[in-house]
Amino acid sequence: MTTEFAVAFVMGIGTIGPALGIGLLVGKALEAIGRNPEAAGKIQTNMILGIAFAEAIAIYALVVALILKFV
């Protein structure tokens, strides 16, 4: 029972941060593209790179949760 709670806790806490970060990142990128449409390519490239880094943190949380579950 304790390991299931630990897995759920790790996934819950470990994915809230990246989800909020991705939401803010995309919102600000769309705002920037709206203000300067000519720079859309550069903004989109940096946005996708930032999303990948934020998503990597969620993947680390998944790895920790899997370790807790199976070890």
The H-or-E segment that residue 1 falls in is: none
Domain count, the chain: 1
Q: Which domain holds residue 60?
A: 2-70
pLDDT value, residue 22 = 95
Q: Tell me the per-residue pLDDT of 2-52, one tens digit each, with 9 for 90 and over.
A: 888 989 999 999 999 999 999 999 999 999 999 999 999 999 999 999 999
pLDDT value, residue 1 = 64
Here the contacts of 41-44 (C-beta below 8 Å, separation 24 or greater) are none
CATH code for position 21? 1.20.20.10
d(C-alpha 45, C-alpha 39), whole Å: 10
Q: What is this structure's pTM?
A: 0.82
Biggest CA–CA distance in the chain, Å, is: 55
